[in-house]
Amino acid sequence: MNDKNIDKIKKYIRAANYLSTAQIFLQDNYLMERPLETDDIKKRLLGHWGTCPGINFIYAHLNYLTKKNNCEMMYVVGPGHGFPAVQANLFLEGTLSKYYPEITYDYEGMKDIVNKFSWPYGYPSHANPGAPGVILEGGELGYSLATSYGAVLDNPDLIVTCLVGDGEAETGPIATAWHLNKLLDPATNGAVLPILHLNGYKISGPTILARMSDEELQKLFEGYGYKVYFAETDGSDDEEKLNELHQHMIEVMESCYSEIRSIQKDARENGTKPKPKFPMIILRSPKGWTGIKEVKNKKVEGNHWSHQVVVKEARIDDVEKKALEDWLLSYKFEELFDKENGFINEILDILPSENNRIGNSKHAHGGPDVYKPLELPPLQKHSEDVDKPGQEDTSPLRRAGEYLNDIFKLNKEDNNFRLFSPDETYSNKLDKVFESTTRTFVWPHKEWDDDLDYSGKVMEMLSEHSLQGLMQGYVLTGRHGIFASYEAFIQIVASMSDQYAKFLKVARETPWRGTIPSFNYLLTSSGWRQDHNGFSHQNPGFIDNALQRQGDFINVFFPADGNSMLAVLEHSMSSVNGINIIIGGKNLEPKWLGAEEAKSNIEEGISIWKFASDENPDIVFASAGDYPTKEALAAVDLLKKELPSVKVRFVNVSSLSYTGFGTCGNVLPKTDFQKYFTADKPVIFNYHAYPQTIKQILFDYAENPKRFEIRGYIEEGSTTSPFDMQVRNKTDRYNLLKKAVEFLEVSGAITNEDKVRVETKCTEILEQHLDYIKANGVDMPEIENWKWGQ
């Protein structure tokens, strides 16, 4: 590398650092053509400076590397709070102007990004979906590395350089994500180049990894399976030292690129070998590098004081204002940018071709370049006949496994579908997929390992954080997946799911972002059948959290049986730009609906089940969820036997969104509410999760909410029997029947004598149940062997 190219990189970085600083501070005098005045400085100073210089340094070197090798490169910035740097580079490379023509690639465009950064109705303070090339918001730290690994799965030519901030490196999600190199087969996937940026400080204290020695770090990351390269600067302004740093960084990045391609070439020509040693870089640089070194006897550069706004009182304090002025002038931006002609050619010379510019990566933007719909099997292939509802049993998740297995088969050539699961594929009864694929594992295999290969499409790791991040990266870059996890423990990624939903909301409103598949969750092992694992495994809170979001793209599905599960999967795996949460039982449970009925039920989101309903009912039973549906129908069955004259309607709700019953865009209108729930009859609703969620939805529907009794999980559980889980939460058939006769007596449909007789009988059976499970450890035969109508 000659000195001219190093000089170009240095000038590019100076320009990016100046633009980053200007966005935080300036509202006028953008080129520092005169002494800095009070009114040149924004009244409200916002933004994070400290991480920006590192982001800019790496961006410049990635530009040079990408141009030299003509390669596909994405840059995932973990510390997304350094958005001034990201936006500065997007402007410098011209990508911002491509996607936002109103931000012209000239002085006026520069004024625009500087003025509107972190400004009301301007540009956000953090990386966001409105920024080209971005697939990670990064405001909540910890998800960058897993997202990067997800982006390169089945993307054989793509390299994602992932900047991990050292504060971010202390988070749990990052700690587990380092191990994802062990799930990356170089024969079929792209590669991640992690760069751990040690700048020493969080908001107000030192970071752990930055206080570790190079020897300790090398041992740590070599143990993780990486080949470690170091680059370091003390922040010196000495030109010779700067040139040596840049020369070293160029050589390190070229070595990393060459090693990645060599590993891939060998695997693709000679077969994958265990433990490929992918490279990573550890970069040490002072926090706030190139900024103010000291002000008012306070160390700033290389200290936590440079984390956010460095001189907060610059408008009213002459010392701070002078420090800011000297800082801005130190970049000599006038040498790099001309008001009439824009940036000098030396800066433009290191930019890759337009198609390869980091902000212009097709992989980041969805649409036809990366998205292709899945080929799905016909439902008839896997559906089961239902001659008499409730007489035969099936496992919805067994059926799901068969369906997913066919998806793998049908889309093998497109190589665009994966199953993500935390070591639970067998437990969740989805193991039928192993007919078509395996788990992926690129570490040593044992001869007795089951369903394991280097190139499998099932991603198993006992870290929901890593799986969530993997699937986010996979879906945002246009491929399809489903994330199966125990219902209780998906809660660990609730915050990540929130962040993804926020990203998706803005992405859906950004015109140049194209179609991507929906993010599909399959929640299994629900609390109702976690009787053997106890209270810790009984938590449906993820559903309720999702339904609180004001997003018209999040649906929660409650398939009541196997055919309904198939219909939900068909709907979800073909949907786009959304989030689907599917609740599935893995145990043998009754078959209620034929294939066409199930599909119609899912499409409508709510239906009256005719086999369990009468005309002009005295009472309405409703349900959402497989186990609550069974208990509600058992209560109807008992009611008809005890009080044959009572007329009943049964309503099943198969999907919910925050706006009501049904899916987003197809929610039950308020005008149709009485069609299902009548105008004035009592309603008992047996719900899978917390009752309060249904109560909130009913607030917009029901004029007389007092006629509704909502039953659901009320945080009562332990190690017990399956039926006792229902009893403890009063969602069982006998407690539902007791409430039904209470309602029916008030409405005059039955006598007080009938009510007392039924209540007494139910109470006696519940007492027998308690004695029986204590003595035998299992539910009574009449519970376990119950069939509809018998």
632-676 per-position pLDDT tens digit: 999 999 999 999 999 999 999 999 998 899 999 899 999 999 999
Contact of 467 with 500, CB cutoff 8 Å: no
Residue 423 CA to residue 43 CA, distance in Å, equals: 53
Report, as an integer, the average pLDDT of 356-375: 97
3-state secondary structure of 358: helix
- Contact by Cβ (8 Å): 21, 291: yes
Strands 191-198 and 158-165: parallel
**Adjacency order of strands within the sheet including 439-440:** 452-453, 439-440, 458-460, 417-421, 480-486, 519-524, 579-583, 554-557, 655-657, 660-663, 666-667
- Exposure string (b/e) for 596-632, b if CB count within 10 Å is 16 or more? ebbbebbebbbbbbeebbeeebbbbbbbbbbbbbbbb
- pLDDT tens-digit series, residues 464-522: 999 999 999 999 999 999 999 999 999 999 999 999 999 999 999 999 999 999 999 99
Residue 423's pLDDT is 82
Rounded Cα distance, 50 and 302, in Å: 9
Q: Go through the chain and tell me how many residues it has.
A: 790
Is 526 within 8 Å of 485 (Cβ atoms)?
no
The mean pLDDT of the chain is: 95
Asked whether the predicted pLDDT for residue 2 surpasses 70, the reply is no
Q: How many CA atoms lie within 13 A of 367 on its CB side?
A: 13
Label each residue of 593-652 as H, E or C.
CCHHHHHHHHHHCEEECHHHCCCCCCEEEEEECHHHHHHHHHHHHHHHHHCCCCCEEEEE
The residue among 552 and 17 whose pLDDT is bigger is 17
Residue 533's pLDDT band (cuts 50, 70, 90): confident
Q: Take residue 514 and report the two structure tokens written for it.
A: 């194209």
Beta partners for 519? 579
Residue 368 class from Cβ within 10 Å (0-12 exposed, 13-18 middle, 19+ buried)?
Answer: exposed
Residues in a beta bridge with 684: 621, 709
Contact 81, 23 (CB under 8 A): no
Asked if pLDDT for residue 38 goes beyond 60, the answer is: yes
Contacts of 428 (CB under 8 A, 6+ apart): 397, 421, 484, 522, 524, 525, 586
C-alpha dihedral sign at 159, 231, 23, 84 = positive
pLDDT the model gives residue 139 = 82
Task: Average the pLDDT over 186-199 and give the result.
Answer: 98
Q: Which two tokens stand for residue 55?
A: 């982001």
Q: What is the mean pLDDT of residues 341-353?
A: 95
Radius of gyration of the chain (CA): 30
Q: What CA–CA distance (Å, rounded) separates 703 from 684? A: 16
* Partners of residue 710 on adjacent β-strands: 685
Helix (H, G, I), strand (E, B) or coil at 158: strand
Q: How confident is the model at residue 717 (pLDDT cuts 50, 70, 90)?
A: confident
- Cα distances from 130 to residues 21, 370, 716, in angstroms, run 21, 19, 44
SS3 content of the chain, % helix, strand, coil (to 5): 45, 15, 40
Residue 485: what are its φ and ψ, rounded to 5°? -155, 155
Locate all alpha helices (DSSP H) within 135-238, ordered by sequence: 144-152, 172-177, 214-223
Model confidence over 585-616: pLDDT tens digits? 888 999 999 999 999 999 999 999 999 999 99
- pTM of the predicted model as reported, rounded to 2 decimal places: 0.96
Other beta carbons less than 10 A from residue 489's beta carbon? 18
Closest by Cα among 603, 674, 673, 614 to 644: 614
User: CA–CA separation, 157 vs 197, rounded Å?
Assistant: 25
The DSSP 8-state label assigned to residue 225 in this structure reads T
The confidence band for 337, taking pLDDT boundaries of 50, 70 and 90, is: very high
SS3 category, 393? strand
Report all structural domains of the chain as residue ranges with CATH numbers, in order of start: 3-356 (3.40.50.970), 379-590 (3.40.50.970), 605-784 (3.40.50.920)
Lowest mean pLDDT among 184-188, 217-221, 660-664: 660-664
Nearest to 114 by CA among 333, 319, 261, 321: 333
At residue 403's C-alpha, the angle toward residues 400 and 406, to 5°, is 150
- Which residues does 239 contact at the CB level (< 8 Å), separation at least 6? none
CA nearest to 292, candidates 317, 316, 333, 321: 321
Who contacts 294 (Cβ-Cβ below 8 Å, separation ≥6)? 300, 301
Cα separation, 576 vs 514, whole angstroms: 10
* Cα 494 to chain centroid, rounded: 9
Q: Can you tell me the mean pLDDT for 136-142?
A: 89
| Distance from C-alpha of 646 to C-alpha of 592, rounded to nearest angstrom | 22
Q: Which residue has the higher pLDDT, 706 or 101?
A: 101
| d(C-alpha 15, C-alpha 107), whole Å | 13
pLDDT confidence tier of residue 538, bands split at 50, 70 and 90: confident
With 0-12 CB in 10 A as exposed, 13-18 as middle and 19+ as buried, what is 67? middle
